[in-house]
Amino acid sequence: MTRADELSYNKKQNIIDLEGEQDKVITIPERKERESAKEYVVRVLVDNIVNTGLEPGEKLIEQELCEKLGVSRTPFREAELELAQRKLIDIRPKIGTYVAYIDAELVEEVRHLRSVLEAEIAGMACRLLSAQDIDRLWENIALWQLYIKRKQEDKIFLLDKQFHSMLYHLCGRRHWYELVESIAPHFDRTTILSFRCRPAQMILQDHENLIRAVEARDEAHARMIADQHMNRYTENIAAIRAAFPKYFKVENR
């Protein structure tokens, strides 16, 4: 395949090959209807920071990324400022802009917030979810089984996000979910890495047990499962850091 053919293929697959970096690709989805240029840049950069298309410590080349995304420098720089405020990138004056390393303290803050909210959501689900709602959760589980067999960790990650989103929305707590999502990328970065270095079966089992507790209308058990589920990060963090040491923030790097 010629270089031109390769670029053409990547474009059709919504994959961009960053020139000068062998096997380095980032995913560029279509821009959504009514999505501003800044919102589009934020979404693309966050998605690629989470899935490590843009790795911790990697320098962002403004001109190249603007061309790939089809945006001008103004919305790109506005997006950079937002992501810097969210601690997902580091802007170093006169040096450059870099993807932030994973900050374990920030990840723990997000985990703790989610632990509190999702225990409450689990209890609410026992009171509020209909049989049809529960069927929708089981449909999500069926897809997990498929992608675990195929070892498609990125698909599993998206199903994990969908499962939790469904619980918030089915319980009528959309604003809670929006709050969580505003800081979720820090936790999401470690979640997707955990699926790459440890079996996803334990997480799937937590989801199955939670659905069964909801079916039984057992609020106490559902809350316990939700809390146990969010504590998986604490159990897994040592293995994640051992597998991906260069991704985590350390002093004097």
Distance separating the N- and C-terminal Cα atoms of the chain: 40
Residues in CB range of 117: below 8 A, 6 or more apart: 176, 180
Domain with CATH 1.10.10.10 in the chain: 3-99
Beta bridge partners of 96: 92
**DSSP calls for 79-118:** HHHHHHHTTSEEEETTTEEEEPPB-HHHHHHHHHHHHHHH
Q: Give the DSSP H or E segment for 26.
A: strand 25-27
Which is higher by pLDDT, 166 or 15?
166
pLDDT at 2: 42
For domain 3-99, give the CATH number. Answer: 1.10.10.10
Domain with CATH 1.20.120.530 in the chain: 104-247
Q: What average pLDDT is seen over the chain? A: 90
* Percent with pLDDT over 70 in the chain: 90
* Of residues 230, 16, 29, the one with CA closest to residue 115: 230
C-beta atoms surrounding 212 within 10 Å: 14
pLDDT tier at 24, thresholds 50, 70, 90: low
Residue with tokens 């920071």: 49
Residue with tokens 């999702």: 118
Average pLDDT in the 11-28 region?
Answer: 54
How does pLDDT run across 184-233, given as a tens digit for each residue? 999 999 999 999 988 899 999 999 999 999 999 999 999 999 999 999 88
* Alpha helices in the chain, H assignment, sequence order: 3-12, 37-50, 62-69, 73-85, 104-128, 131-150, 153-170, 174-197, 201-215, 219-230, 232-243
CB crowding 121-144: b at 16 or more within 10 Å, else e = bbbbbbeebeeebbeebeebeeeb
CATH topology of domain 104-247: Four Helix Bundle (Hemerythrin (Met), subunit A) (1.20.120)
Question: Which range is most confident: 21-30, 166-175, 227-236?
Answer: 166-175
